[in-house]
Amino acid sequence: MRPFAYSRPTDANSAVQALSAAASANSPVADAAIQALAGGTTLLDLMKLDVMRPSALVDINPLSDVWSAVNLDGGNLKLGALARMSDVAAHADIQKNYPVVADALKLAASPQIRNMASLGGNVLQRTRCTYFRDVSYENCNKRNPGSGCAAMDGFNRTHAVLGTSGQCIATYPGDFAQALIALNATVEIIGKSSARTVSFAELHRAPGNSPQIETTLMPGELISSFSIQGRWPRSTYFKVRDRQSYEFALSSAAIALEVQDGTIRDARIALGGVATVPWRARKAEGLLKGEKFDDALASQVAEAAFEDAVGSKHNAFKIALGKRVVARALHQAAAMEI
């Protein structure tokens, strides 16, 4: 860890000012010299590993008074970016109306981490690719653009099979983001001069030719909240991992269904543990709309979700596993008593 300046502004404007001080438009946000500090469970880890090297941290926790609110007014949900994972997971109205949100949070990390970690920090957590996290490997295009990718021919069991590029196959590790992308969430962002709202699906960027650029946030910008329209009581988060708790997904699915008289009116499927970014399986969703649920349909949908998947040496199993996960998760959502 390198020495850094630490500030603790008490209102959003000063926080954004502080973050913009040295912002340069052409350096990716994740590499910016000034970083926001929320729970610190991703950021401090990566600083100790010398992967992230900010020279200044802007502690945004004093904004919690305003930014940790959870609001369920008018049939919509608004979640403050500084709300803690544990608080949101335990919120009775969210468990009832948005089980996919509560489950995705509850099944992530450990109780200690969930108590510290914020929703904003959670969606911006960085990949667990071991080559990315170990600076003794020079070749990592994400950390060291143009240097190659150590994972491509290395040990890549946990890597992605969807959304990969010739530059990077790192998995987006988070769970909560799958719930957000499935429910068409929007993200409220504030910057130095203005505030904007974008669809959550536009927040993350697939690696393509520049895996070092992970989001569409501009330097100096902060996420203030997430919003979800409508209620999704028939929704679930299904996660498969190498141990029963405290582990990232090998494959997961966020599912939300709207069923009327046995017919599926709306369907949402997002995939975790298998893709480079929060992943929406839109084509697969399309097969469900207007249909009645059965096992044959579930298998067809699962196939479609992984149509474009490409495996590497150790992670090819994720394709078959992912399909089974989608089918099971759909089954579970369809069978929910609501």
* Interface residue list for ligand FAD (CB under 6 A): 35-43, 45, 81, 108-109, 113, 116-118, 120-122, 124-125, 174-176, 222-223, 248
Comparing CA positions, the residue from 261, 337, 325 lying closest to residue 293 is: 261
* CB under 8 A, 24+ apart: contacts of 154-157: 155/130, 155/314, 156/312, 156/313, 156/314, 156/315, 157/314, 157/315
Considering only residues 135 to 154 of the shown chain, the ones binding ligand SF4 according to CB under 6 A are 140-142, 149-151
Task: Report if residue 247 touches another protein, rule: CB under 8 A.
Answer: yes
97 vs 171 by CB, closer to ligand FAD: 171
Of 50 and 65, the one with the shorter C-beta distance to another protein is 50
Residue from 244, 260, 262, 296 touching another protein (CB under 8 A): that is 244
Cβ of residue 78: shortest distance to ligand FAD, in angstroms?
Answer: 14
Identified binder of ligand SF4 from the candidate list 23, 60, 129, 162, rule CB under 6 A: 129
Residue 137 lies near another protein (rule: CB under 8 A): yes
| Nearest-angstrom CA–CA distance, 127 and 33 | 19
For another protein, the closer of residues 13 and 245 by Cβ is: 245
Give the nearest distance from C-beta 206 to ligand SF4 in angstroms: 12
Q: Please, which of residues 91-110 interact with another protein by CB under 8 A? A: none
Identified binder of another protein from the candidate list 135, 297, 310, 336, rule CB under 8 A? 135
Question: Cα separation of 61 and 14, whole Å?
Answer: 13
The distance of closest approach from Cβ of residue 167 to ligand SF4 in the complex, given in angstroms and rounded to an integer, is 6
Residue 131 makes contact with ligand SF4 by CB under 6 A: yes
Q: 282 vs 317, which CB is nearer to another protein?
A: 317
Looking at residues 59 to 88 of the shown chain, list those that interact with ligand SF4 (rule: CB under 6 A): none
39 contact, one of ligand SF4, ligand FAD, another protein, none, CB 5-8 Å limit per kind:
ligand FAD
Does 35 engage in binding with ligand SF4 (CB under 6 A)?
A: no
Smallest distance from another protein to CB 230, Å? 30
Residue 2 contacts which entry, another protein, ligand FAD, ligand SF4, none (Cβ below 5-8 A, type-dependent): another protein
Q: Which of residues 208-247 bind ligand SF4 (CB under 6 A)?
A: 211
The contact pattern for another protein, residues 301-330, with x = CB under 8 A and - = no contact, is ----------------x---x--xx-xx--
**Nearest residue (CB) to ligand SF4, 132 versus 200:** 132
Q: How many CB atoms lie within 10 A of CB 212?
A: 18
CB 178 within 8 A of CB 125: no
Residues forming the site for ligand SF4 (CB under 6 A): 127, 129, 131-132, 140-142, 149-151, 168-170, 211
